[in-house]
Every structure is written in C-alpha cells, then in structure tokens.
Amino acid sequence: MRALGKAPYAAPGPEGWSDRAADWIAPDRLPERLEWCAGLAGRLRPTLPPLDHAADIMGPTVRPATLRRMAVALDDHEALAILLASPEFQQR
C-alpha cells in the first residue's frame, strides 16, 4: 500500500482513505499501480487458468475487453496482471 501512496494507518482523516476514483487513479501513480499488479501476479500460484479465475473472482462484471486481452497474454502471470489492473477489478 505504501508503494501505491496509501500507507496503512496513515489516512488523512478518521473516515479513512477516499473511495473516489479521482483520489486513487492519478496519472503519476499509474506506473506504480501497474508494477504492483504485475508483481502480485508474479507471486501468485494460480490453481486454475487465469480466465477461469476471472470468472470466479469477477463473475459477470468482468468486461469482454478484459477477457480478450487476458486470452492473448504471453503467460498466466501476465493474464493475472491484466485482471488485477483492469478497471472492473479495481473498482470498489
């Protein structure tokens, strides 16, 4: 969370971190978010193909565009990184 600019227990107020997209998705933070998604995907040991995980995790909310991009990923880790970085996954 520190790498994403949202250190644990360091929210600016008692209500915690904002849930507004504008407060989280800033152009200068985008590279860090993508690197974080890729790093997490590289540490995961999936038990199912990534497209199956997408269906299990996101159900009907996963967009067809995300599934198409995952289907042409170079490997399972890249496909998982695409899922983690997708707008629908990162939406609250």
Average pLDDT, the chain: 82
Residue 32 has pLDDT above 60, yes or no: yes
Q: What is the residue whose two structure tokens read 């971190």?
A: 17
Torsion of CA 82, 86, 91, 92, to 10 degrees: -10
| Whether the Cβ atoms of residue 34 and residue 87 lie closer than 8 Å to each other | no
User: How far is Cα 87 from Cα 38, in angstroms, rounded to an integer?
Assistant: 15
pLDDT in tens, 49-73: 889 888 888 889 999 999 999 999 9
Domain residue limits, the chain: 26-90
User: Does the predicted TM-score (pTM) go above 0.75?
Assistant: no
